[in-house]
Amino acid sequence: MQFILQVPFILHNASAVERFSDYHIKEDTRKTTMQFILQVLFILHHASAVERFSDYHIKEDTRKTTMQFILQVPFILHNASAVERFSDYHIKEDTRKTTMQFILQVPFILHNASVVERFSDYHIKEDTRKTTMQFILQVPFILHNASAVERFSDYHFKEDTRKTTMQFILQVPAVERFSDYHIKEDTRKTTMQFILQVPFILHNASAVERFSDYHNKEDTRKTTMQFILQVPFIRHNGSAVERFSDYHIKEDTRKTTVQFILQVPFILRTASAVERFPDFHIKEDTRKIRMQFILQMPFILHNASAVERFSDYHIKEDTRKTTIQFILQVPFILHNASAVERFSDYDIKEDTRKTTMQCILQVPFILHNASAVETFSDYHFKEDT
């Protein structure tokens, strides 16, 4: 298959890198086989992890001659010093201009506002954006401190750029102080395929109320865009891997049926947030007749009880079978292992997977404990596949 690699090494312990050191993708495979879409989230808990993993390199020649290189590298840095140590990370101008449609996804999930200042030399020149590529920017500034928004207040995308240049995929979950963020109706309707990625990574449930003016009008959704579903469930406890050990994708299914992609991140800090945002609905008819429905709605659940409250979330069988290329990416980001049990009624029927869709599995194993890697060591994709 088109191998879309998403390996978020969200390593709680630097030693985990060493234990997983046997994970390799051979050069020849990358050069001759597939469009290699690399998604490597170095969500590093310890800055020292950067040094230990310093042997990770992508050669220039590989990027230039082989593939459409879609780089997704969210540096979710716990320590500001990590930015300095990784200061040798650069993408040369010439490479970006001549080689590929460069889809940059760099969510700087900054724990400290000071990180913004240290990384102030990060810039994307206007001319590059206008003349080179369809620049799909995904920069979710998941800011721990509101003051960070003010310091980074010089971050702006000019109207004209958005209208004439690119398919603009915006991810901006800054709530109150960035209230001047608006996407005009006319822009969304006439300019671009608007793939909305709005991770509501809400620190406070009240943020939902303050941002209550955020709405996607029915007509806009029906006529304008390909709407994409990404729902990753990420586990907080390694034991969750064991309890969910019955999750398997049979070899034959992968080979004969579908490129299957599920990405559905439930990023909810407070379960009550689900109740306050109850007016979020996707009508059946919309999904069936209008668009390839690729929903990216990261509802990350802080409390297992949130699963129960959101139990009315269902995707009907008939919808999946007749309407859309259902791109399922399910990194189960579960804070409590018990959540897996409560959500045990979540199933994808065999027949659906076999007859309906292209199945590209993206399962970022964001393991809280390094031992979880060993426990889940039986997870393998065979070479022949």
Domain boundary among 103, 133, 163: 133
Q: Decide if 163 is inside a domain.
A: no
- d(C-alpha 174, C-alpha 201), whole Å: 9
- d(C-alpha 248, C-alpha 378), whole Å: 11
Residues 372 and 224 in one domain: yes
- What would the two tokens of residue 195 be? 């793939």
- Domain span at residue 326 reads 214-385
Q: Decide if 80 is inside a domain.
A: yes
- d(C-alpha 364, C-alpha 369), whole Å: 14
Q: How far is CA 48 from the centre of its chain?
A: 25
Q: Which amino acid is at 93?
A: E
pLDDT at 272: 28
Full-model pTM? 0.11
- What would the two tokens of residue 31 be? 């050069």
The backbone torsions φ and ψ at residue 71, rounded to the nearest 5 degrees and listed phi first, read -90, 125
pLDDT at 288: 26
Domain boundary among 84, 112, 133: 133
Residues 247 and 372 in one domain: yes
- d(C-alpha 26, C-alpha 384), whole Å: 14
Residues 220 and 129 in one domain: no
Q: Decide if 72 is inside a domain.
A: yes
Q: Decide if 208 is inside a domain.
A: no
pLDDT at 383: 28
Q: Decide if 328 is inside a domain.
A: yes
End-to-end CA distance of the chain: 8
Residues 102 and 231 in one domain: no
Residues 259 and 358 in one domain: yes
pLDDT at 241: 27
Q: Decide if 1 is inside a domain.
A: yes
Domain boundary among 133, 165, 185: 133
Where is 301: in which H helix or E strand? Answer: strand 299-301
- d(C-alpha 369, C-alpha 105), whole Å: 26
Residues 112 and 229 in one domain: no
Number of domains in the chain: 2
- d(C-alpha 209, C-alpha 276), whole Å: 7
Residues 119 and 221 in one domain: no
Residues 94 and 219 in one domain: no
Residues 229 and 358 in one domain: yes
237-240: Cβ within 8 A, 24+ apart: 237/334, 237/336, 237/337, 237/368, 237/369, 238/367, 238/368, 238/369, 238/371, 238/372, 238/375, 239/337, 240/332, 240/334, 240/336, 240/337, 240/339, 240/340
Q: Decide if 187 is inside a domain.
A: no
Residues 352 and 219 in one domain: yes
- d(C-alpha 362, C-alpha 329), whole Å: 5
Q: Residue ranges of the chain with pLDDT lower than 70?
A: 1-385
Q: Decide if 46 is inside a domain.
A: yes
- What would the two tokens of residue 22 be? 């046997």
pLDDT at 174: 26
Residues 374 and 230 in one domain: yes
DSSP reduced 3-state for 268: strand
Q: Which amino acid is at 356?
A: T
At 59-114, the pLDDT tens digits run 332 322 222 222 222 222 222 232 322 222 333 332 322 222 222 222 222 222 23
Residue 224, C-beta contacts closer than 8 angstroms, at least 6 positions apart:
188, 189, 193, 194
Residues 120 and 220 in one domain: no
Count CB-CB contacts under 10 A for residue 344. 12
